[in-house]
Structure 1
Amino acid sequence: MSDVPQVLLVHHLKALKLPTFLREHDKLARQCAAEGVDHPTYLLRLAELELLDRERRMVERRIRQARFPAVKSLDSFDFTALPSLNKMLVLELARGEYVERRENVIALGNSGTGKTHVALGLGLAACQKGVAVGFTTAAALVHELLEARDERRLLRLHRQLAGYRLLIIDELGYVPLSTTGAELLFEVFSRRYERGSVLVTSNLPFDEWTSVFGSERLTGALLDRLTHHVHILEMNGESYRLRVSRRRQGKAEAPTNAS
């Protein structure tokens, strides 16, 4: 009979979904007993452990649901390599207040300057602050929209996209869109106008976006909505990948030059 309370405790903690309580209660009880800690303090410590672990699991779940191609933080971004980028603005955006205000972010610059890294870093920061984030490329999103339209589940997809308080659309401008694809993507932006934040990265300046959407009217309407409440990150500079490649090539050639 002496095992009954322990068995019931394990059962109840599982039913209440308190895995940290279940894992830590015995060890913490012995520790608190050795320290002469009273019961309220013991329960407080146990509750704090559960809350911290629950928040960690929630952040991990939001990161998985965001479908990031890689998890990158702003801590690993080399701001010194890109003088054109406003570091203070990026760090301010990492606080996430723009999401609360339903404002947008657009990162513009040539290929290889770290636009995707910054987008991933801001997306990760948003996840850590409890924001539901979705990540996709413009080409992948258009493909998904076209597929959903053909399968008569476009409204369901729009509801899914609306569930993201921050929607990150990477690589806009790398692939020209069909007329239907451009219209479907425009509808995504239009539905989010003043309802949810969008973070867009593009290798094209605004005056070249018509080449992607194929219509000056559609492009103008899109930019009107997208730039109404916007933070623009200028990210023009030398390609990071090209710079690394040159550095590696230089190291490889160094022994030959030395000889």
Structure 2
Amino acid sequence: MNDVFSRISADIDSLKINAYTNGLMELLDSEAMSPEQLEAVALVFAHLRNQKEETIRNTLLKMSRLPLKEPKTFDSFDFSLVQGKQIEALRNLPSLTAVNAGRNLAFIGPQGVGKTHLAMAYGRECCIHGLKTYFLKAPELNQRLTDAVKYGRESSTINALVKPSCLIIDEIGRCVFNKESTRMFFDMVDRRYNKEGPNTMIFTSNMSPNKWGEFFGEDSSLLCALDRIFDDATVFMMKGNSYRGKRLETIAIETGRPKPGVTRKD
């Protein structure tokens, strides 16, 4: 009996209607409900809780800018093709220890080895566990920061980038940030560095971090940003052949003038 009341109480807490807990429990007790009736009540609250959590998950996924039609997941990543002494660190990514510990992640390596897939899969897992996630490519971030300076929206732009528990910046090295954008990049990193609660930034790049200076316009701001990004981080240096093209089908055909006496039909 106490187990049923505990489950109902936990669901009420999740639904954020705690103000009604005492009154509901008194009602259930006064009605002298049978175990079967209490289980039915518990089933209703469990259903409402599940519906709320599913709605939150779907909303977070829609707002994350992660692909929904063909989502990148850990289940669809072929871990069997990955080798190395520290492979377990990669396999443990779904546990979300990084975001809960406030550690940043970086996936560095050549094109096609799965960097973006893993970053997106991590962000999707965060959404499923109720953590706000936001994905954008480095050129998109650069444009957003440039526009913020141009239209005087620096504060609101940085605030929006600080809010997500998981911020994914894909393809560092695809564009060059000017001085103003680099300074804003540092401000964003600094704010996130001091943020409480679940918090991680995820970066992907073809370039190792010691070469990122080529793509940012002010050395002092970048060095301060990198110091905060990698102060507590896990960097996966990925090597190997590209996954892309593994479903490529090549068909050999030949065209030319028809032989004499042969009528060509299209």
| Same fold? TM cut 0.5 | yes
- Letter matched to residue 238 of structure 1: N
Secondary structure of 1:183's aligned partner:
helix
* TM score, norm. by length of structure 1: 0.75
Secondary structure of 1:142's aligned partner:
helix
**Could you list the runs of 4 or more consecutive aligned residues of structure 1 that deviate by over 4 angstroms after TM superposition?**
84-87
The 2-side partners of 1:38 and 1:82 are apart by 51
Q: Is the 8 A contact 2:158 2:184 kept in 1?
A: no
The 2-side partners of 1:199 and 1:233 are apart by 11
Q: Name the larger-Rg structure.
A: 2
Identity of aligned pairs, percent?
25
- What's the counterpart of residue 30 of structure 2? none
The alignment covers a number of residue pairs equal to 218
- What's the counterpart of residue 107 of structure 1? 107
* TM score, norm. by length of structure 2: 0.74
The 2-side partners of 1:54 and 1:216 are apart by 47
The 2-side partners of 1:124 and 1:86 are apart by 23
The 2-side partners of 1:43 and 1:85 are apart by 51
1:232 and 2:235 aligned = yes
Q: Is the 8 A contact 1:82 1:235 kept in 2?
A: no
Q: Is the 8 A contact 1:170 1:202 kept in 2?
A: yes
- What's the counterpart of residue 54 of structure 2? 56
The 2-side partners of 1:54 and 1:76 are apart by 27
- After superposition, residues 152-191 of structure 1 pair within 5 angstroms as 152-191=152-191
- Letter matched to residue 232 of structure 2: H
The 1-side partners of 2:85 and 2:181 are apart by 31
- Letter matched to residue 63 of structure 1: L
The 1-side partners of 2:194 and 2:85 are apart by 26
Q: Which has the higher helix share?
A: 1
- What's the counterpart of residue 138 of structure 1? 138
Unaligned runs of 5+ in 1: 1-15, 17-35, 254-259
In the TM superposition, what is the alpha-carbon distance from 1:176 to its structure 2 partner? 2.4
In the TM superposition, what is the alpha-carbon distance from 1:59 to its structure 2 partner? 0.7
Pairing partner for 2:204 from 193, 201, 204: 201
Q: Judging changes above 3 Å, is the alpha-carbon distance between structure 1 residues 150 and 216 closer, same or farther for their aligned structure 2 residues?
A: closer
RMSD of Structure 2 on Structure 1 (CA): 2.6
1:116 and 2:119 aligned = no
Q: Is the 8 A contact 2:132 2:165 kept in 1?
A: yes
Partner deviation per Cα, 1:67-120 (whole Å, 9 max, x = no partner):
114521110011233435954223323222221221100110111111111011
- What's the counterpart of residue 127 of structure 1? 127
- What's the counterpart of residue 216 of structure 2? 213
Unaligned runs of 5+ in 2: 1-14, 16-33, 253-266
